[in-house]
Amino acid sequence: MIQAERRFEILKHLHTEGAVYIDQLSSLFDVSPMTIRRDLASLEEEGRLIRSHGGAVLPETLTQEIPYQTKLSSYTAEKQEIARKAVERIPEHSRVLLDSGTTNLEIAKLLSKRDDLLIVTNDAKISMELLNSECQVISTGGELQRGVGAFIGAHVQEFLKQIKVDIVFIGANAVHPTEGISTPTLEKSYIKKQMLKNASVKWVVADYSKFNKRSFAHVCDLEEINGIITDGQIDSNTVEELQKVTNVY
Amino acid sequence: MIQAERRFEILKHLHTEGAVYIDQLSSLFDVSPMTIRRDLASLEEEGRLIRSHGGAVLPETLTQEIPYQTKLSSYTAEKQEIARKAVERIPEHSRVLLDSGTTNLEIAKLLSKRDDLLIVTNDAKISMELLNSECQVISTGGELQRGVGAFIGAHVQEFLKQIKVDIVFIGANAVHPTEGISTPTLEKSYIKKQMLKNASVKWVVADYSKFNKRSFAHVCDLEEINGIITDGQIDSNTVEELQKVTNVY
DNA sequence: ACTAAAACAAACAAATTCAAACATTTCTTT
DNA sequence: AAAGAAATGTTTGAATTTGTTTGTTTTAGT
């Protein structure tokens, strides 16, 4: 066994075991510990492992996926509750469209093991969240809204026109019993409208702080959607009001 | 047995065993070790193996779809050096296209304050890196390559056809003086080709470990690009060889 | 905080491998 | 058949790898 071969084996070992030990490698390859040390030093220089007393481990960047700082959003607990309810409504082998927003990000976090799903999203953070997941992920691309992580612009429109999905989860800034769903910018309302157009089942996700509000740009009426998924803190009068025109979960 | 035949057998051996040894080959073909050395040297030139004291091993580019994870943090120092050189070559108010890859990710990290730039990329990680930056960011979108963070698929092609940029930075898995730039999958080679087509200035970024190698799918010849940006560890003979056909920085 | 055991790395030594230069053989071409 | 080119072998000093020794540093237990 030659040097390059041994070093390659060390890396292989490291990747399967997560860590390697000098005395273990030394007896495995029947070479002196000093030789292994030199191997590890060289591999560390290449950035392929991190040395530590007695052995080496994988560099952090390899083991953990970067939890891309998902800026602490408000009402996280509520959004997680909504997300749990939402994933129950995703049948196997669905094609799912996830609108941008933190509630949908929570949904994405629960989907990483669902290898039966195809997920389309216009949210960069959701893409990253699913980078190491089992599902197939498609991003719309487009102009990145700074800070937010949503893709916007005409390109998103064009992209969405080209696809059909089974389920869409739309985020909402404002939900009103008679005025329906609205959002602060025209731009986003166009995108959400297009999303609703090409989905068979349409859900709106919104925590209790979004209800009985109206925003600038109208997205859709409540009759057009299959239902609203929200959290337990929503006021019961509001639920009653809403249930006249749509389902509330 | 003639030279070409023997060299072919050496490669066959290498592919089945993963490694070959000079004394083993020497007695197998009944030639002197020096002859085997010359064979290995020649095959290494062609990028078909990596020599090591006493023998040779397969280049990693061929052994596997490198679990990108290992590539992730390899040669980070070199990539940072390359990134520093690269950003010097970005004039104000440029429209920049960043190919997927860790070297370009390092470039992106250096661009966050450049509010004069428009950056287009097919790498989800680069998008995220620039999420809180000053520059305008556009993502191609497309099918997310799991683990890697690159967007691939026909959509990326279509998107790239629609845009023109001032500068492109292409990542390379393999750079060879006569064979040019190549990459492990056809898919990626198409994308890189399209990127080169619509850029005025074309740079290839590659750390020293990528040189004198050939991979599966050809991307472009060295004459077609404005230059290669690499790190200081590159061997001076290689530089000399490359400078016959392109610029090396 | 102190101490003993283990791990480490610098320096040197031995063995092996390498490659340049030259010699020899084999193959091609005329 | 002779000359030239290409491939291979041989010699030899240099370079690389590995192991060993030795003193230092780190770790872990009391």
CA separation for the pair A55, A58 (Å, rounded):
11
How many Cβ atoms sit within 10 Å of the Cβ of residue B235?
11
pLDDT for B86-136, tens place per residue?
998 999 899 999 999 889 998 998 888 888 999 999 999 899 888 888 899
Strand D at less than 7 A from CB of B52:
yes
Share of chain B above pLDDT 90, in %: 43
Cβ–Cβ contact B141 with A under 8 A: yes
pLDDT score, position A13: 85
Strand bridging mode B165-171 / A95-98 = unpaired
Whole-number Å distance, CA A34 to C1' C13? 15
Structure letter (DSSP) for residue A210? G
- If one compares B214 and A226, the residue with the highest pLDDT of the two is A226
Which residue in chain B is spatially nearest to A134 when comparing CA positions? B146
CA separation for the pair B157, B174 (Å, rounded):
22
Residue B170, strand partner residues: B204
CA separation for the pair A70, B133 (Å, rounded):
15
pLDDT of B2 over the 70 cut = yes
Mean pLDDT, rounded, for B161-183: 90
Nearest-CB residue to A5 (from B57, B73, B144): B57
Q: Which residues of B touch A138 (CB under 8 A)?
A: 141-144, 155
Contact criterion met (CB < 8 Å) for B55 and A5 = yes
Contact criterion met (CB < 8 Å) for A2 and B151 = no
- pTM of the entire predicted model: 0.70
Q: Mean pLDDT for chain B?
A: 86
CA separation for the pair A52, A71 (Å, rounded):
33
> What residues 61-90 of chain B have any CB closer than 8 A to a CB of chain A?
67, 69-70, 72-77
Strand D at less than 7 A from CB of B38:
yes
Nucleotide nearest A7 (Cα, C1'):
D17
- Computed on alpha carbons and rounded to an integer, the radius of gyration of chain B in Å comes to 20
Cβ–Cβ contact A105 with B under 8 A: no
pLDDT score, position A74: 63
Q: Which residues of A touch B69 (CB under 8 A)?
A: 15, 62
pLDDT score, position A60: 65
Cβ–Cβ contact B160 with A under 8 A: no
Amino acid, single-letter form, for residue A121: T
Chain C nucleotides reached by a protein CB under 7 Å:
6-11, 16-21
Whole-number Å distance, CA A36 to C1' D20? 15
Nucleotide nearest B41 (Cα, C1'):
C19
Q: Which residues of A touch B52 (CB under 8 A)?
A: 2-5
Structure letter (DSSP) for residue A211? B
| Residue labelled with tokens 């799912």 | A96
pLDDT score, position B63: 47
Q: Which residue is nearest to nucleotide C27 (CA to C1')?
A: B2
Contact criterion met (CB < 8 Å) for A47 and B74 = yes
pLDDT of B183 over the 50 cut = yes
Q: Which residues of B touch A47 (CB under 8 A)?
A: 73-77
Alpha carbon A208 to chain centroid, angstroms = 22
pLDDT for B215-239, tens place per residue?
888 899 999 999 999 988 787 778 8
Whole-number Å distance, CA B23 to C1' D8? 16
Contact criterion met (CB < 8 Å) for B138 and A144 = yes
From start to end of chain A, where are the E strands? Answer: 19-21, 50-52, 55-57, 95-98, 118-121, 136-139, 142-144, 151-152, 165-171, 174-176, 180-183, 199-205, 217-220, 227-229
Number of residues assigned to chain A: 249
Q: Which of B139, B161, B207 to mutate to test the interface with A (most CBs of A within 10 A)?
A: B139
Per-residue pLDDT of chain A (249 residues; tens, 9 = 90+): 999 999 998 988 887 777 899 998 999 899 999 999 999 999 998 888 889 899 998 886 544 444 444 444 567 778 888 888 888 899 989 999 999 988 999 899 888 888 899 999 999 989 988 888 889 999 999 999 987 889 998 899 989 999 999 999 999 988 988 889 998 888 889 999 999 999 999 999 998 888 888 888 899 998 889 999 998 888 888 888 888 888 888
pLDDT for B30-75, tens place per residue?
999 999 999 999 888 887 889 999 999 988 754 443 333 333 456 6
Nearest-CB residue to B73 (from A47, A131, A137): A47
Mean pLDDT, rounded, for B189-203: 93
| Residue labelled with tokens 């959400």 | A192
Q: Which residues of B touch A15 (CB under 8 A)?
A: 67, 69-70
